[in-house]
Amino acid sequence: MERILDLNIVEVRKLLKKGEISSVDLTRFYLERIKKYDGAIQSYLRTTEEVAMAMAEDADGRIRAGEDGPLLGIPFGIKDIFCAKGMETTCASQILKGFIAPYDATVIQRLKERHFVHLGRVNMDEFAMGSSTENSSFQTTKNPWDLTRIPGGSSGGSAAAVAGGLCAASLGTDTGGSIRQPAGLCGVVGMKPTYGRVSRYGLIAFASSLDQIGPITRNVTDCATVLGAIAGYDPMDSTSIPQPVPDYLALLGRDIKGMKIGVAKEYFVEGIEPDVKKAVADSIALFEKHGAIVVDITLPHTEYAVSTYYIICTAEASSNLARYDGVKYGLRVDGKDIIDMYKKTRMKGFGQEVKRRIILGTYVLSSGYYDAYYGQAGKVRTLIRRDFEEAFTRCDIIVTPVSPTTAFTIGEKAEDPLQMYLSDIFTIPVNLAGLPGMSVPCGFDRAGLPIGLQIIGQPLDEARMLQAAFVLESEKKVKTIPDSFKG
Amino acid sequence: MNYNDYEGVMGLEVHAHLLTESKIFCGCSTKFGGEPNSHTCPTCMGLPGALPVLNKKVVDFAIKLGLALHCTINRKSIFARKNYYYPDLPKAYQISQYEEPICSNGYLDIFMNGEKKRIRVLRVHMEEDAGKLVHESTIEASTYSLVDYNRSSVPLLEIVSEPDLSTPEEAVLYLKALRDVLVYLEICDGNMEEGSFRCDANVSVKRKSDTKLGTRTEMKNLNSFRSVEKSLAYEITRQIDLVKQGGTVIQETRLFNVDEGITYSMRGKEEAHDYRYFPDPDLLPLIVDDQWIEEIREGLPELPMAKMERFMTDHGLPRYDAEILVSDKELADYFEETVRLCKEPKTASNWIMTELLRELKNGNISPKDSPLSPAHLAELLSLIKDGTINIKIGKEIFPELYERGISPKELVKEKGLVQISDETAIVAMIDAILAKCPREVEEFRAGKDKLLGFFVGQVMKEARGKANPKLLNELLMGRLKGSG
């Protein structure tokens, strides 16, 4: 079974179809690996073994009956931010501890329709607020490449579980880099699709105008496969885009001759580690070698992205998280009256970073401050979007580093929120512009830590990004599972 | 300074529950009643991850009202979140419209003693209602609250007037006119008691000579026309008294206590709110194109004001009649159907406003459910017009006609009530009466004219009410003056 970890989902599906392995074998294989390795990695908050085995048996029945499908019988670890009927869904927060979702998120429903196997729920920063999983109220996940380091965040549990070979694939969410940054730091593939490409219904909101769901996988092919399954219009999400879903696998393996690759000087600033800079430069050279044309572009408003982002995302979060008041579900701490109950519940239920953002967001929306902060941020957001529109008149995709550094050590930035915020400096503008962005492994630093290349695309142009990522992946053959977690 | 030197300045904020099948942002039923929390789903319960999807029907209704109130229908409008904590508000924000509502700058005309006054409408916007707290006894006595979210996310239109109302009477007229419009458009049932038509009022006072408005208070809990009138009257007097004594009005929310007829300050509860409105990122800007507006415009029914004008010009009714008839669309329909059949608008109006309305009110029946159909009323009026029966008989048999819902012709035949128009027969009865009352005849001839009524009564009594009154009068005069 070990070879499974070297195969992509398309190849595993062939084995399942031929009956060489079963979904139950596959599920057991991952559950055993979780038992063996997750004590060290701590990517899973909960495994749902019984549900997983039942789903695997059901999938095997379907396979025997001749059913087919891209994810039939494939085991996933799911970020604990998606409502799944009958399952505890916590957002890694004390305030939702014990909350059993009574309905399925659209993405969960789509995976269920394709008969995936739900292995369990993986860790994250509380309410997806953070870049390291240190803000999880339950546990800090470790980076499989170096257990003293963070896996990135907020989808750190997803990236670590995929990198550690503890699931075939995972779903994450990305508000300012929460898929791409952990994927980059854990050396796996992560895609934040175009805003509106994947329905947000049932995704527990952090910042609604920025949140987007996407796959975290061990290779580009799996990324295309999973994206194809979850993308598409959903009448339950007013912001979802009513456009047909292309075949994301179709362009994989096609050459990139003539593809115009934009490189923005604003993304190669001070503070980038030399090894990161070099790995990105090498990747650009590799694209060029394959016939792509490198174009210098400029994204002049990049320097305002982080501050703009922290106004918009905190404002939306302050409103989105107001519903956790102890009245209807989740934690309730009794008080002498209703106001006291609200206060005590939220005081106890939310962690420090979440509180910090609620307070910030409440402030920027307050009367008298709205225009100076939220109003202004909206205008800057438009400028950032226009930067990209302008750039994309000259190129097809843009490549940048995912993060300025490789994975930092646990605790290194925990006490310095600003430094933590800056680790998303290259991913945040993409969310503000609503564009698709992905992280694909492009090498290692001298300490052996993975480096991710960010590919930014035009709206709904994920297929082309995957095409370029596939070229890089095929050429570089960067391994995605550390040797210590093989076998 | 006396009271007459001051005047009130009022603007109303009306909330109208819409008669859509489903809620504004989910597919749940809007039906009133039902087991608590049975008409709910993740969206209207504010569960984590749930998202709103706009019900297009609500937009249709908003455009309808906007057109009826001569508003600008904004091609782009924005849903915004109004953030505040209360257990009946499951998301801790209400989705409403703030800076860019769907309709703005319209008006509604009212008639005060026959004189037209134009009340400007600032805006009409869409929003969702909250749930309802339920207590075992009263909120004060209960140690806990239960929440019923059936009403959560039921669609509302908020209609905000400019401060153009000067008296409580005007305010009530405006409210009634607005309710008529909503009911005519069939978008709201206008029921104040059940809360599907609610009103808050902003009240201030100023010296008549001043142009600057005074500080306003907001009055809540006005759930009947009477409450509106009484509370506004109380509040205006209170404010004038305060100002006359050199005090200042504080901007605050006040509650009207129906039993005491007094308004109370709610100070400290609502004041400090900063709702932190911002555009709801879960909903796209609402774009309404010309075609959508035109489709709605084409489907608009005739509105009360237009109908009233038409009843006055086409049917020659006095304003008083027209106002009463159009105040209830069903009644107006009843009237029009009757007139179509009998071609006597004023007579029909008289009968409807007196006889029919009395019966309907007694039984608390709506005009469309009247047992007496417009066709039967028209038939009755024809019987009177062609002299088959007289008015008196008509009025006598009206309750029975109404009760039994049968044809007037049948009933008249059944009861032998056909009017006596045979001159010889009437003359015979007259002569018999005159013969019995020589003294009265003497007195009449001596100039006591009012005895005519006595003779008419006596003959009618003899004719068991069936004598043709006009003929009877003529013949009686002839006999009294002519012979002897």
Q: Where are the domains of chain A?
A: 2-252+400-435+477-485, 303-379
Asked whether the beta carbons of residue B50 and residue A202 sit closer than 8 angstroms, the reply is yes
pLDDT at A200: 98
Answer positive or negative: Cα dihedral of B334, B339, B345, B348. Answer: negative
A203 in reach of chain B (CB within 8 A): yes
Work out the percent of chain A whose per-residue pLDDT is above 90.
Answer: 94
On chain B, the residues whose CB falls within 8 A of the CB of A99 are: 48
| B44 CB neighbour count, 10 Å cutoff | 28
Size of chain B in residues: 484
Contacts of A142 (CB under 8 A, 6+ apart): A40, A41, A42, A148, A149, A150, A151, A160, A410
User: What gap in Å lies between CA A184 and CA A451, rounded to an integer?
Assistant: 6
| pLDDT bucket at B272, cuts 50 / 70 / 90 | low
On chain B, the residues whose CB falls within 8 A of the CB of A96 are: 48
Biggest CA–CA distance in chain A, Å, is 70
Between A270 and B309, residue with greater pLDDT:
B309
| pLDDT bucket at A443, cuts 50 / 70 / 90 | very high
In chain B, helix, strand, coil percent, each to 5? 40, 20, 40
| Residues of A with catalytic function | 79, 154, 178
Structure token digits, residue A87:
């399952």
- Nearest-Cα distance to chain A for B283, in Å, is 6
pLDDT at A125: 98
On chain B, the residues whose CB falls within 8 A of the CB of A339 are: 85
- Nearest-Cα distance to chain A for B96, in Å, is 14
Mean pLDDT of A440-448: 97
Residue of B nearest to A361 (CA): B276
Structure token digits, residue A454:
């960010």
Check whether A101 has a pLDDT greater than 90. Answer: yes
Residue B477: enclosing H or E segment and its boundaries? helix B469-481
Residue A183: enclosing H or E segment and its boundaries? helix A180-186
A169-174 and A75-79 beta bridge pairing? parallel
In A272-356, where do the E strands start and end?
Answer: 293-297
Check whether A212 has a pLDDT greater than 90. Answer: yes
CATH code of B423-480, in short, is 1.10.10.410
Asked whether the beta carbons of residue A83 and residue B276 sit closer than 8 angstroms, the reply is no
- Nearest-Cα distance to chain A for B147, in Å, is 9
Residues A153-167 pLDDT 10s:
999 999 999 999 999
The pTM of this model reads: 0.90
Compute the mean pLDDT over every residue in chain B, rounded to the nearest whole number.
91
Mean pLDDT of A453-472: 98
Mutate to test the interface with A, among B98, B278, B283 (most CBs of A within 10 A): B278
A260-264 and A293-297 beta bridge pairing? parallel
Residue B78 and residue B127 in contact, taking contact as beta carbons nearer than 8 Å:
no
pLDDT at A383: 98
On chain A, the residues whose CB falls within 8 A of the CB of B54 are: 238
Residue of B nearest to A329 (CA): B47
Asked whether the beta carbons of residue A205 and residue B83 sit closer than 8 angstroms, the reply is no
- DSSP summary character for residue B52: -
- DSSP summary character for residue A404: S
| pLDDT bucket at B377, cuts 50 / 70 / 90 | very high
- Nearest-Cα distance to chain A for B276, in Å, is 5
B400 in reach of chain A (CB within 8 A): no
Asked whether the beta carbons of residue B49 and residue A202 sit closer than 8 angstroms, the reply is yes
Q: In terms of C-beta density within 10 A (0-12 exposed, 13-18 middle, 19 or more buried), how is residue B207 classed?
A: middle
On chain A, the residues whose CB falls within 8 A of the CB of B53 are: 235-238
B278 in reach of chain A (CB within 8 A): yes
Fold of A2-252+400-435+477-485: Amidase signature (AS) enzymes (3.90.1300)
| pLDDT bucket at B484, cuts 50 / 70 / 90 | very low
Residue B378 and residue B342 in contact, taking contact as beta carbons nearer than 8 Å:
yes
User: What gap in Å lies between CA B99 and CA A362, rounded to an integer?
Assistant: 19
Q: Which of B42, B53, B85 sits opposite A103 (nearest CB)?
A: B42
Residue B14 and residue B178 in contact, taking contact as beta carbons nearer than 8 Å:
yes
Q: Which of A96, A209, A338 sits opposite B48 (nearest CB)?
A: A96
Q: In terms of C-beta density within 10 A (0-12 exposed, 13-18 middle, 19 or more buried), how is residue B449 classed?
A: exposed
pLDDT at B298: 96
User: What gap in Å lies between CA B456 and CA B446, rounded to an integer?
Assistant: 18
On chain A, the residues whose CB falls within 8 A of the CB of B51 are: 200-201, 236-238
- Nearest-Cα distance to chain A for B370, in Å, is 45
B282 in reach of chain A (CB within 8 A): yes
- Nearest-Cα distance to chain B for A462, in Å, is 23
Answer positive or negative: Cα dihedral of B191, B306, B119, B171. Answer: negative
Q: Is the ipTM of this complex over 0.90?
A: yes
Asked whether the beta carbons of residue B47 and residue A89 sit closer than 8 angstroms, the reply is no
A contact residues 138-197, partner B, Cβ 8 Å cutoff = none
Q: CATH 1.10.10.410 region(s) of chain B?
A: 423-480
Residue of B nearest to A320 (CA): B91
A100 in reach of chain B (CB within 8 A): no
Work out the percent of chain B whose per-residue pLDDT is above 90.
Answer: 64
Mutate to test the interface with A, among B276, B284, B286, B287 (most CBs of A within 10 A): B276
- Nearest-Cα distance to chain B for A212, in Å, is 12
Mean pLDDT of B112-122: 91
Contacts of B191 (CB under 8 A, 6+ apart): B197
Mutate to test the interface with A, among B51, B56, B271 (most CBs of A within 10 A): B51
Asked whether the beta carbons of residue A365 and residue B53 sit closer than 8 angstroms, the reply is no
- Nearest-Cα distance to chain B for A256, in Å, is 36
A243 in reach of chain B (CB within 8 A): no
- CA–CA–CA angle B24, B27, B33 (5° rounding): 80
B49 in reach of chain A (CB within 8 A): yes
Residue A177 and residue A428 in contact, taking contact as beta carbons nearer than 8 Å:
yes
Check whether B34 has a pLDDT greater than 60. Answer: yes
Residue A426 and residue A455 in contact, taking contact as beta carbons nearer than 8 Å:
no
On chain B, the residues whose CB falls within 8 A of the CB of A366 are: 274, 276
Check whether B270 has a pLDDT greater than 80. Answer: no
Check whether A372 has a pLDDT greater than 80. Answer: yes
On chain A, the residues whose CB falls within 8 A of the CB of B45 are: 328
B85 in reach of chain A (CB within 8 A): yes
Mean pLDDT of B174-195: 94
pLDDT at B267: 64
Compute the mean pLDDT over every residue in chain A, rounded to the nearest whole number.
96
Residue A281 and residue A265 in contact, taking contact as beta carbons nearer than 8 Å:
no
Check whether A224 has a pLDDT greater than 50. Answer: yes
pLDDT at B156: 98
- Nearest-Cα distance to chain A for B86, in Å, is 9
For A62-83, letters b (16+ CB in 10 Å) and e give bbeeeeebbbbbbbbbbbbbbb
Mean pLDDT of B396-401: 92
Check whether A364 has a pLDDT greater than 70. Answer: yes
**Total CB pairs under 8 A between chain A and B:** 100
Of A179-183, A190-194, B359-363, which range is least confident?
B359-363
Mutate to test the interface with B, among A240, A319, A363 (most CBs of B within 10 A): A319
Residue of B nearest to A373 (CA): B278
Residue of B nearest to A371 (CA): B278
B427 in reach of chain A (CB within 8 A): no
Helix (H, G, I), strand (E, B) or coil at A247: coil
Check whether A472 has a pLDDT greater than 90. Answer: yes
pLDDT at B127: 98
Structure token digits, residue B174:
């405006």
If we measure between CA atoms, which residue out of B272, B282, B332 comes closest to residue B304? B332
Cα A436 to Cα A144, A152, A397, A428, A430, distances in angstroms: 27, 19, 10, 12, 7
A contact residues 322-381, partner B, Cβ 8 Å cutoff = 322-323, 325, 327-329, 338-339, 342, 362, 365-367, 370, 374
Asked whether the beta carbons of residue B49 and residue A208 sit closer than 8 angstroms, the reply is no
Q: How many CA atoms lie within 13 A of B260 on its CB side?
A: 6
A84 in reach of chain B (CB within 8 A): no
